[in-house]
Amino acid sequence: MLKSVTNIIVALSAFLFVFGCKENGDCVDRVPVVRLDGFLAGRQSGDTAALRHDFDMAEGIRALRAVIGGARDLSDAEFVDSISGTAPIKVFYPDVKNRIESLDSLEMALGVLKSNMAGLLPDVQFPKTVCAIVSPYRQSVFAVDSVLLIGLNHYLGLVYAGYADMESYSVPFKVMPYAPCEVASTLVRRAYPYVDGHDTVLLNRLLYEGAVGYAVKKLLPGVSEAYAMAIAPDRYEEVEKNESYIYGVMITNRLLYSSSALQIDRMVSPAPSTPLISPSAPGRAACYVGLRIVEAYVEKHPEVSLRELLSPAFYGTIQSFIESGYEPSER
């Protein structure tokens, strides 16, 4: 137990160092995270002072109401009373409190994300309020209007006993260093959702997934590429070494230009494996090729902006692939 706690401390310390400053060395202001999780867990019936006087907390509660739903005739205070004793909070909050005492590293990472987003994607509105919650769902990050909700119970560590019954492919992402990547991906995808064309093929979706991953890397300099692409970190080196094989299978089996919605979904969605590539290929392995195509395109067109890469004008046309001059690397 002591060893696992030590590993968490070391990981968070490294995380804090990496995300404390931007790529050019300039330090940024951290983004404060309201501990709504603690308020909900420790709330006493009738305690409405915080909701009356803390604007950010009140905004967080309203966003949580939008996520969870429920009776509309309840006041915010009544809504809080209705969920403060629910199973997710009772089960997970004690461990959240013990394992995640400080959010310094997360706040610094969000500060970097906000600063870089203002420069690289100026038309994206960074949330005005960020709140930590205990998420009752499988989803961990929610963007509701100008509020961002982050479910800390989804980042309790690789050896957390509460994840024992969870799909094994999702556990490697249940660590705090992944949280900023998930936030960045959520905000990018909300601002630039994938637009299906009338002749959409797998290549189009791979270009989009590659563009999102590329954007996350630029918005959070120094971040793990595996986290940016949401590909299992413990399998990422394997994916890199098999880039040529993955691309070759997609060409040989005519997958790259497949218009089958089912096949496309199986290639880009989180999953234990990508059987269309190989029974042993990790989930989203094909998206790695998408990232490499995007990077090849950027190398030939250094003036292209993130906004352009995230637009249908880029990922919706095969011409982008042709102009990238992409050739899979041999490792």
Mean pLDDT of 171-191: 97
Average model confidence (pLDDT) for the chain? Answer: 89
Token pair belonging to 163: 């994840």
pLDDT at position 214, please? 98
Position 91 pLDDT exceeds 60:
yes
Which pTM value belongs to this model? Answer: 0.89
8 Å CB contact between 112 and 31: no
At 77, the pLDDT band (50, 70, 90 cuts) reads: confident
Lowest mean pLDDT among 46-55, 118-127, 141-150: 46-55
Between CA 122 and CA 117 the distance in angstroms is: 6
Position 96 pLDDT exceeds 50:
yes
Between CA 108 and CA 21 the distance in angstroms is: 8
Position 61 pLDDT exceeds 70:
yes
pLDDT at position 50, please? 54
Q: What is the dihedral of CA 288, 289, 293, 295, to 10 degrees?
A: 30
- pLDDT tens-digit series, residues 268-288: 999 999 999 999 999 999 999
Mean pLDDT of 24-40: 84
Position 82 pLDDT exceeds 90:
no
Position 1 pLDDT exceeds 50:
no
Token pair belonging to 142: 């929610």
Between CA 231 and CA 237 the distance in angstroms is: 10
Question: Nearest CA to 8 among 155, 204, 151?
Answer: 155
- pLDDT tens-digit series, residues 207-226: 999 999 999 999 999 999 99
pLDDT at position 240, please? 97
Neighbouring C-alpha atoms within 13 Å toward the C-beta of 325: 5
At 325, the pLDDT band (50, 70, 90 cuts) reads: very high
- pLDDT tens-digit series, residues 235-269: 999 999 999 999 999 999 999 999 999 999 999 99
Q: Of residues 115 and 19, which shows the higher confidence score?
A: 115
Position 12 pLDDT exceeds 80:
no
- Would strands 141-144 and 34-35 be described as parallel, antiparallel, or unpaired? unpaired
Question: Nearest CA to 218 among 106, 298, 141?
Answer: 298
pLDDT at position 51, please? 54
Mean pLDDT of 68-85: 83
- List the strands of the sheet with 141-144, edge to edge: 34-35, 129-133, 147-151, 141-144
Position 64 pLDDT exceeds 80:
yes
3-class DSSP string for the chain: CHHHHHHHHHHHHHHHHHHCECCCCCECCCCCCEEHHHHHHHCCCCCCHHHHHCHHHHHHHHHHHHHHCCCCCCCHHHHHHHHCCCHHHHHHHHHHHHHCCCCHHHHHHHHHHHHHHHHHCCCCCCCCEEEEECCCCCCCEEEECCEEEEEHHHCCCCCCHHHCCCCCCCHHHCCHHHHHHHHHHHHHHHHCCCCCCCCCCHHHHHHHHHHHHHHHHHHCCCCCHHHHHCCCHHHHHHHHHCHHHHHHHHHHCCCCCCCCHHHHHHHHCCCCCECCCECCCCCCHHHHHHHHHHHHHHHHCCCCCHHHHCCHHHHCCHHHHHHHCCCCCCC
Q: How many CB atoms lie within 10 A of CB 146?
A: 12
Mean pLDDT of 119-129: 95
Mean pLDDT of 162-186: 95
Q: Which amino acid is at 196?
A: D
